[in-house]
Amino acid sequence: MARVWKFGDNVNTDEIIPARFNITIDEKELAKNVFCEVRKDLPGNIKSGDIIVAGQNFGCGSSREHAPIAIKGTGAVVIAKSYARIFFRNAVNIGLPVLECDTAEIEEGDEVEADIEAGILTDKTKNLTLRLKPLPGFVSKIVAAGGIVKFLREHDIEELQ
């Protein structure tokens, strides 16, 4: 069972990981300070499999990859109403699952289960089932491989043409 960490709309990349920590791309190191200025209770308490839930335009701000890398280091999945375009692409490129659904009814601390393959989010606290917007086939293959570099290493470039 996963715990929900709830955020609102327009969560920006500097809130996800403040720029002063962007001296590394090591996901575990970045994860130690994820959301440290806006959610002091989150670093050190978020667990692999937990779900970060947010509203619209999650990941707005800079184009640095550090924000999705920091989240990936926690082992969490992100479910939001919508994403900033560059954040979404960076997340896919590094293999961070980023899913979309209407998150209005999900609350902080709810216990949920996400079945990414089936496209279902079950809120056990509220006995609520929500449909996740599926990632396009090619995009889901990149995320499942762990990112674009790992995907390309596993596949012959000719089979992609």
Residue 1's pLDDT band, with cuts at 50, 70 and 90, is confident
- In the chain, domain spans: 2-160
Give the C-alpha separation, 160 to 157, whole Å. 5
- Residue 92 to residue 151: CA distance in whole angstroms: 11
Residue 159 in this model has a pLDDT that exceeds 90: no
Residues 98-133 pLDDT 10s: 999 999 999 999 999 998 888 899 999 999 999 999
All residues at 6 or more sequence positions from 140 whose CB lies less than 8 Å from its CB, including other chains: 134
> What integer is the mean pLDDT of 52-73?
96
pTM of this prediction exceeds 0.85: yes
85 three-state secondary structure = helix
Residue 49 has pLDDT above 60, yes or no: yes
Q: How confident is the model at residue 160 (pLDDT cuts 50, 70, 90)?
A: low
In the CATH hierarchy, which fold is given to the domain comprising 2-160? Aconitase; domain 4 (3.20.19)
